[in-house]
Structure 1
Amino acid sequence: MTKLQSIQIGRAVACVLVVFYHLLALSKDYAGSAFYEPAFSGFKAGVDIFFVISGVVMVITTYSRFDKDGTATRFFIHRVSRIYPPYWGLAGLLTLYWLRNPGAINAEHGGVDIVASWTLFPSDKLPIVPVAWTLTYELMFYLVFGLFLAFLAKRRLVGALIAWGAAILLAQPFAEALKSVPLASFLTSPFVLEFVGGCLIGLAIVRGTVRFPGPALLAGCAIFLAEFIVLQVLRAPDALDARLRVGLYAAPALLVVYGLIGLEKNGNWTTFPRWMVALGDASYSLYLVHILVFHALYRITFGPVFGASGSVFLPLAFVLSLVCSYLYFLVIERPVSTFVRLRLERLAGVDRPHANAAAPSQAPFGATRPQE
């Protein structure tokens, strides 16, 4: 399957939503909520869009090789090499800071589980890079889907996905009890339903059964807008239960991703701004780096330099996060991830697919590459 630029556009939009949320929400900590309104909590839906995209890309990048030897091994190698090297770069910096200031990171969330932070294994504490909680969910997705690749025939994939989704729904009455076992809690989280829905969209794409993408995209955007208005009118709290959050954002996220990719696949939308595709390429770095940039700017420059003036601070912080993130993508993420992937493939003796079988890569919030 050829590279789908619409996936990168979706990643760019989703990541910018999350960036805007953190930029505005951090004013609750540093500026007396000067820039925050309840509607802005809806920007968290960028993460839900990412989870849907993960499911889509996981299917379209593996479907043609589903029943072939080495597919599961290659899949795990690519996932490990895409997630960990860029993440460990930032985790290392924050670990050094944490060692000097143990109470300065995640104190309001029970502190730091350093082992879970470096492995991204499920924990009841946030990782040392706080936004990386989503990466733990990604790893859970990868684990189960990789097992599908290793032991499941392609013809049984739909049934397995539906069964997985049904198991998530059946587990919800026991959600509180499962919290005492982090691995079980993550595997049965409602967020998994967004990933499963994305996989089903991916199947529709590879089978050429995409219908009415335009109305789907419009409906998804309209639902998001209506939900943001409701959040504002009700002065809704920033933190929502996972089940409520998925109930609000899963359907429009699925519709938006389905519509966006469907328009490209059907030939209705074939030209995309290059800068948005580039932003989608660097979206994993942007996701990881932006929160650290914002914290630093709020702490160091907001009060003494900008005098609580958002008209200068907000656009400057946003642009600086883009610049830092793209540099991180060029200098760290892309070369290091590629180096690790090639070395792991060589160690595992995994053959690479032919160039004409290239497809978008699957990174949690990352770049699309041929042959990944």
Structure 2
Amino acid sequence: MPKVFLSIQGLRGIAALLVVVHHYYATYGSIHKLAGGDLPWLLSYGNLAVFGAVGVPIFFVISGLVIGLQRFETGAAGIYDFMAKRLARIAPLYWVMTLAYVCWASQLWTWPQLGRSLLFVERPVTGELPALGVGWTLEYEMFFYMAFAVAVVSGIVGTRARGAAILISVFALMVYVNLSTDAAVFGFSGAPVILEFCGGLIIASTIQNRAVTRLWLPYLVVALAILFLSTTAFVGESRNVIFSMWGAGAFCLVFGLAAAEVEGRVFMRGRAFQMLGTASYAIYLVHLVLQGSLLKWPIWYWRWDEIIEPHLGLVLMVSFAASCGLVVHYGFEVWANAWFRRWLLQWSPTRLQLSHPQIADGDGPRIRAVAQEPS
């Protein structure tokens, strides 16, 4: 099995840019519409206007895959180390971007909301979006990490495979109960999106089976068929149907790309794809700060919507978000994560230190998982 899944890294970059496109349409598409202008026709067919949000299921499946492939010590010390590495990967940039957003954004926010957002509990507690909207996906990330730590890293049920199977079963049961009752019994923890993380765990547990990986091409064909169908008017506008198709399509897409790489077929190995994948988390967080605060003033109050054609605006926004994400990643995220990780691990019960710098993102295959974004 490859040590670095280049195809998955490239896919993360594409997923981040898809979310940028989705939020561009949601923000500036509505501004053009309110101003009496035209919406981008490229996003006017079927469900293409919201298709960019498919980046989120892709992130969630990749996250489950990454966690499922990691190496870790079991027991209480193992739980601390595991969560410390995950927190160091997610928190520094998210905290900084959240604070930047509330400082520059024009909409109202409250101190309690900000506190809950920084602690990753806004949606579980209130059901609302955190101060930085895309943070709701990170709240699911942290919830998945904690559940995985309890069920698998703790070693409480024995083998790693048994713990993962129990975790998947419990999540599936909670989602089933939520969907089969009028009231959301499990609320946040029973949302169907949690199954996308489970899909990543399933991929991680089967990716070394050659009988499975030989079918990489059918997986990709099915993935592309599902995702294409989700954009058409044929499926209607039912959010539940569209979201289900995105989850299934993301699962097959990640499975197909990972299986293909095991079989020696690598996609998106180019430097541009790899750089975007490496900076995908920064792109994911930074773009909403740009769109939701800094750029709203010139667009709305200085009437840039009357000067810049919508499709040109889309190209400029994607390019600007990608450039800013790369700058933030290499200029801040890399060293901030490394510093915070060292600081957390110095309190580890096992006194683990960063003695293996060649292993990225906390052991296992070098795929960095974050998911990243709502819609």
Same fold, TM-score > 0.5, yes or no? yes
Give the residue type in structure 2 aligned to 1:51: F
Question: After superposition, where does 1:221-370 map in structure 2 within 5 Å?
Answer: 221-230=224-233, 234=236, 236=237, 240=239, 243-269=240-266, 272-295=269-292, 296-301=294-299, 304-305=303-304, 307-308=306-307, 309-348=309-348, 349-352=351-354, 354=356, 355=358, 359-365=365-371
Matched with 2:160 is 154
Cα separation, partners in 2 of 1:270 and 1:286, compared to 1, 3 Å: closer
SS of alignment partner, residue 3 of structure 2: coil
Distance 2:118 2:264 in 1: 43
Cα separation, partners in 2 of 1:212 and 1:145, compared to 1, 3 Å: same
Question: After superposition, where does 1:1-372 map in structure 2 within 5 Å?
Answer: 2-32=3-33, 34-35=39-40, 36-37=43-44, 38-62=47-71, 65=72, 67=74, 70-97=77-104, 104-105=107-108, 113-121=113-121, 122=124, 123-147=126-150, 148-150=152-154, 151-152=156-157, 153-173=159-179, 177-178=183-184, 184-206=186-208, 209-230=212-233, 234=236, 236=237, 240=239, 243-269=240-266, 272-295=269-292, 296-301=294-299, 304-305=303-304, 307-308=306-307, 309-348=309-348, 349-352=351-354, 354=356, 355=358, 359-365=365-371
Measure how far apart 1:50 and its partner are.
Answer: 0.7
Cα separation, partners in 2 of 1:31 and 1:299, compared to 1, 3 Å: farther
Distance 1:311 1:281 in 2: 27
User: RMSD in angstroms over aligned alpha carbons?
Assistant: 2.8
Measure how far apart 1:28 and its partner are.
Answer: 3.9
Distance 2:267 2:133 in 1: 36
Measure how far apart 1:341 and its partner are.
Answer: 0.4
Distance 1:312 1:13 in 2: 19
Measure how far apart 1:358 and its partner are.
Answer: 5.0
Worse overlay, 347-356 or 195-204 = 347-356
Give the residue type in structure 2 aligned to 1:89: V
Distance 2:61 2:134 in 1: 17
Distance 2:259 2:316 in 1: 35
Identity, in percent, stands at 25
Could you list the runs of 5+ residues in structure 2 that have no partner in the other structure? none
Cα separation, partners in 2 of 1:154 and 1:223, compared to 1, 3 Å: same
| Bigger RCO (CA 8 Å, 6+ sep) | 2
Cα separation, partners in 2 of 1:221 and 1:85, compared to 1, 3 Å: same
* Contact 2:24 2:314 (C-alpha < 8 Å) held by counterparts: yes
Measure how far apart 1:353 and its partner are.
Answer: 7.0
Could you list the runs of 5+ residues in structure 1 that have no partner in the other structure? 367-372
Measure how far apart 1:105 and its partner are.
Answer: 4.4
TM-score normalised to the size of structure 2? 0.83
Distance 2:328 2:289 in 1: 13
Cα separation, partners in 2 of 1:10 and 1:176, compared to 1, 3 Å: farther
* Contact 1:61 1:360 (C-alpha < 8 Å) held by counterparts: no
Give the residue type in structure 2 aligned to 1:341: R
SS of alignment partner, residue 178 of structure 1: coil
Cα separation, partners in 2 of 1:258 and 1:12, compared to 1, 3 Å: same
Give the residue type in structure 1 aligned to 2:153: L
Cα separation, partners in 2 of 1:156 and 1:91, compared to 1, 3 Å: same
Q: Which runs of 4+ in 1 moved over 6 A?
A: none
TM-score normalised to the size of structure 1? 0.84
